[in-house]
């Protein structure tokens, strides 16, 4: 039986690092103030900017602080996690220490008597063939085992290099509609995952393009809710962003979290 709740809050793509203290503090406040008001909280990936292994968290005061905030939240409401493309190496030790339950990507849950399919979203961006090839390789257990066996400073250097490439690609996407289409989810991928789960309500993050869509492909119809990324530390580059999707008996809607 799939998890069933009367109300839930869903977030994703906070990309937490010590260099974004305002965004991190808002997450801590979210764990204390908003999230305990519902029956379940779902984090749909990319909570961290990068994750190079659970062993690294034991040496990071910042990651330990995030761990404590989630562990405290987990004592109040059921808390779920779904891997993102930046933190898919989060392992069982961190999950256990936070009290969260790890969900496969995608997963089906029931919230407010409706079935929802949850995903991070990167696997749905099937027009970006190069990324999908990369994703397939780095998700292989033997590749991950080799990476996690490397010295920690090597792993961090690799992660920093990949972050730089990702930032350059993101900046290119913002200036090109063609690249933006390439980096977005495809209807074909959404239709396939919904058909596999016999659903017509999809929630995902990853694309940083929050919106509610009503879509169709052939005879198949569905609704798609895209979660917002969070950024309260760089107002010079874009407007401040922080929101969650609230689902209860009144329906689904975004709630702004910019101000406490």
Count of structural domains, the chain? 1
pLDDT value at position 17? 94
Give residue-wise pLDDT tens across range 60-106: 999 999 999 999 999 999 999 999 999 999 999 999 999 999 999 99
- Segments forming the whole domain that contains residue 42: 4-256
One DSSP character per residue, 126-182 reads TT-HHHHHHHHHHTSHHHHHHHHHS-HHHHHHHHHHHHHHHHHHHHHHHT-HHHHHH
CA 44/CA 41 separation, integer angstroms = 10
pLDDT over threshold 60, residue 59: yes
Estimate the share of the chain in helix, then strand, then coil, as percent rounded to the nearest 5.
40, 25, 35
pLDDT reading at 260 higher than 70 = no
- Considering only CA atoms, which of 22, 32, 38, 120 is closest in space to residue 70? 32
For residue range 188-225, list pLDDT tens digits in order.
999 999 999 999 999 999 999 999 999 999 999 999 99
CATH number of the domain to which 188 belongs = 3.60.21.10
Percentage of residues in the chain with pLDDT exceeding 70? 91
Give the separation between CA 220 and CA 192, rounded to whole angstroms: 10
Q: pLDDT band at residue 237, thresholds of 50, 70 and 90?
A: low
**Interior CA angle at 34 toward 103 and 242, to 5°?**
80
The dihedrals phi and psi of 117, each to the nearest 5 degrees, come to -100, 125
Q: How many residues does the chain have?
A: 260
Where b means 16+ CB within 10 Å and e means fewer, 228-257 reads bbbbbbeeeeeebbbbbbbbbeeebebeeb
Residue 81's nearest CA partner among 258, 90, 72 is 90
Angle between helices 61-74 and 21-32 (to 10 degrees): 20
The residue-averaged pLDDT of 38-52 equals 97
């Amino acid at each position: 039986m799939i998890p069933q709740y009367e109300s839930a809050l869903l977030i994703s793509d906070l990309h937490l690092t010590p260099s974004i203290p305002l965004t991190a503090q808002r997450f801590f406040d979210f764990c204390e103030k908003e999230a305990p008001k519902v029956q379940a909280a779902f984090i749909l990936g990319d909570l961290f900017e990068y994750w190079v292994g659970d062993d690294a968290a034991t040496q990071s005061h910042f990651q330990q602080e995030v761990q404590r905030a989630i562990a405290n939240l987990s004592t109040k409401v059921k808390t779920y996690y779904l891997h993102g493309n930046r933190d898919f190496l989060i392992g069982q030790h961190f999950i256990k220490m936070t009290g969260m339950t790890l969900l496969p990507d995608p997963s089906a849950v029931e919230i407010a008597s409706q079935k929802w399919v949850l995903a991070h979203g990167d696997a749905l961006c099937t027009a970006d063939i190069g990324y999908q090839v990369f994703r397939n390789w780095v998700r292989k257990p033997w590749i991950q085992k080799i990476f996690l066996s490397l010295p920690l400073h090597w792993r961090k250097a690799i992660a920093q290099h990949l972050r730089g490439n990702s930032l350059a690609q993101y900046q290119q996407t913002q200036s090109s509609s063609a690249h933006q289409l390439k980096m977005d989810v495809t209807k074909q991928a959404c239709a396939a995952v919904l058909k596999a789960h016999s659903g017509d309500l999809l929630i995902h993050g990853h694309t940083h393009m929050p919106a509610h869509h009503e879509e169709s492909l052939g005879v198949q119809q569905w609704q798609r809710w895209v979660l917002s990324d969070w950024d309260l530390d760089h107002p010079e580059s874009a407007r401040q962003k922080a929101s969650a999707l609230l689902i209860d008996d009144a329906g689904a809607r975004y709630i702004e979290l910019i101000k406490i």
